[in-house]
Amino acid sequence: QVQLVESGGGLVQAGGSLRLSCAASGSIFRINAMGWYRQAPGKQRELVATITSAGSTNYADSVKGRFTISRDNANNTVYLQMNSLKPEDTAAYYCNADISTAKTRIPRTYWGQGTQVTVSS
């Protein structure tokens, strides 16, 4: 059984910063790519940023230069540092990861439960 648990969301004023964390736990053999997605009310879930196991990153155009994704492979954790936050960044943020379990060794995508980020103007 594998779980992803996010933390770090909250309410912040425009221009402020937040740091999200997502820790993977369970019977993990290998974690490949990890990422953050977000979903605002009435909108589809969208990619925010991804990071490979080697550290290569990819960002949505809307967050480039403001958000930074990073990971701690030793602790199976991915982070999202969010600076210069805007009201349009308000959404539920979800982490995901491609994980192979010790039992199957077959990678599949796991999702966290989400953490709310609200940016006030």
Instruction: Give percent of the chain with pLDDT exceeding 70.
Output: 100
Token pair of 114 as six digits: 């989400």
Nearest to 82 by CA among 10, 32, 5, 30: 10
Distances (CA, A) of 52 to 6, 69, 80, 86, 104: 18, 10, 14, 27, 21
Nearest to 79 by CA among 45, 47, 34, 112: 34
Mean pLDDT, residues 65-72: 98
Residue 85: Cβ-neighbour burial (10 angstroms; 0-12, 13-18, 19+): buried
What pLDDT, in 10s, does the model give residues 83-117? Answer: 999 999 999 999 999 999 989 899 999 999 999 99
